[in-house]
A and B are shown apart, each in its own frame.
Chain A
Amino acid sequence: MTDRLPGFNTLAIHAGAAPDAATGARATPIYQTTSFVFDDVDHAASLFGLQAFGNIYSRIGNPTCAVLEERVAALEGGTAALAVASGHAAEFLTFHTLLQPGDEFVAARKLYGGSINQFNHAYKNFGWNVVWADSDDPSSFEAAITPKTKAIFVESIANPGGVIVDLKAIAAIAKKHRIPFIVDNTMASPYLIRPFEHGADIIVHSATKFLGGHGNSVGGLIVDGGTFNFAGDDRYPMLSKPRPEYAGMVLGETFGNFGFAIACRVLGLRDLGPALSPFNAFLILNGIETLPLRMQRHSDNALTVAEHLQGHSKISWVSYPGLRSDRYHNLAQEYCPKGAGAVFTFGLKGGYEAGVKLVSNLKLFSHLANIGDTRSLVIHPASTTHRQLTDEQKTQAGAGPEVVRLSIGLEDTQDLIDDLNQALDAA
């Protein structure tokens, strides 16, 4: 007697996006407005008191952004989501909702360099202390847990590429210690990996990457899995204690299994302000409609290019879990059998100098600090994204001096291979 849930391709196009109630517009309208009129004074009071569903002001919520939120919540299989200005904002609001000054969280050491910076430096100002664990060794997460640990954070496929994290093993540790398990699913997208199915409680995204997919809009999302019971848990006062901001309301109780997403919105987004523009939400939504098609092509193309590079005389190693010889191939088969994503790294025999030359010589690959574009992208992390890290941190993060990262786009693979060949010849 259950209502059958539509398939992933259908959700990617339809979830959250019914025709506009007022006009019948079929594409999601860009509600480019700061504010929304109230029906009357009582309606305004209901909205401000979180007693009615509706729109007040676009810093707190916007109908275009809401379509994006429901779309991504549906694709990940979560209860609710919150769209924010960037992937960093998604991480920030997530930790703001979970941590108090003096608290700790355990994070995998292999992460996007920007997240490493955020955790190591910016978060120190709030008294949130990161404790690093070995991405390849789930027991190191357990060893890092203390009574102050409020969250565990990993990337499902870790930047700068080539690492698949054993989500189930880390989820089991998080469950055992009753700690929310946060997964950054940016690199995989829900098409390749759905972390809630492997025990995640919260998912964050940089929608800038594969969700938007066209390199035109920065944005982020927080998705609530509805799986962690915050109500009555004194460790999480944002969700379990009466909130003075809302006349004593207990958010985790009032909003049940989507209380975390609501708390991120009404305590985080409302007061800290990193709202997503409705125009960006529209572009990201447009991108998501083709997510299943693009992610498959990204992965297929990446495998073709990685296989080619593996045999190249100037390359010492290629780290792509789609390759049969890769150390993460078995984990990739388990977690992302459709493909291992667009992004991977390789090592140049010529080291740092060869990396700098290669990015200069490429003509089709764009040298820039992003991933997940229709265009193929290249970066030399040691001289750019990971520049601020120490040499030891660079190597630990998989961004040593000889490492080059590619984000393979949707072009013809022969053109990509030709461009890499000519640039390697000249490097």
Chain B
Amino acid sequence: MLTFSIKRLISAVPTLFLLITVAFFLIRVAPGGPFDSERALMPEVEANLAAKYHLDEPLIFQYGRYLWQIAQLDFGPSFHYLDWSVNDLIAQGWPVSLTLGGLALVLALLVGIPIGVWAAVNQNKAIDYTVMSVAMIGISVPAFVMAPVLILLFAIVLGWLPAGGWAFSFDRMVLPVLTLALPMVAYIARITRGSMIEVLHSPFIRTARAKGMPEKEILTNHALKPAMLPVLSYLGPAAAGVLTGSVVVERIFTIPGIGSYFVQGALNRDYTLVMGVVILYGMLIILFNFLVDLLYAWLDPRIRYEDLNEGGP
């Protein structure tokens, strides 16, 4: 397992490097610059700004400078939020996104898996259809519709919860966590249902049934574990996504996470900020896929680490 871990770690380096390179040049190709404004800048000021942020150097120099910088774990100054460095901004925003995303993830698992199992056990019965239809609402209603509806209902009409804003308190987190969790609940329920059905029809479960094992025991002791494998592969990238914030939720609930930096950073041409969050996301994806593989081997002893090395997820 150790060799596997080390191998994966080493193989992550070229992936990250490629990611950084592609992202760096991609954002620079976008027309316009971070200091463009509807107000005219004096040409002298424009030149001074470019010099201050090294935008006047050839691109390849800037690239070299940037690599050197991040090698020292310094993501540089933000080009848009002039008083802050990218490190500052991520340090302020990420805990918020981590908290919300983490809670949403837990909620989604706690609700999604039981629902999926329930539907699978009642495959093609009314319960199955009802549960899956309700779950599908989570997928079919975009978050930017769900969030205003929730706010209107719970904050304005009923007045039970705040309409937005951020604090590490239960009442401020309910609605954003709910909005984040709903689509995940739906996905997890669907995947669980699908894989559960498959497992329940597999020979070893039939054998267990033939031996007269109680259905409940079959479910919890034998079927659940293998049925979780596809859920895990979904969770890897999904966790990386939800833990780095969501633009929609942050915008509608005014939450200072890092999700909107992916979009606002790109739109503001805040080169350093957007690179910072992109690298963070990339590292999380790589990390979570690695964890998923470890868990996989734990859940399914048939899988050996050597197999995973060959183009794992």
Interaction A to B: no
Q: Which A residues lie at the B interface, using CB under 8 A?
A: none
Chain B: residues with CB nearer than 8 A to chain A?
Answer: none
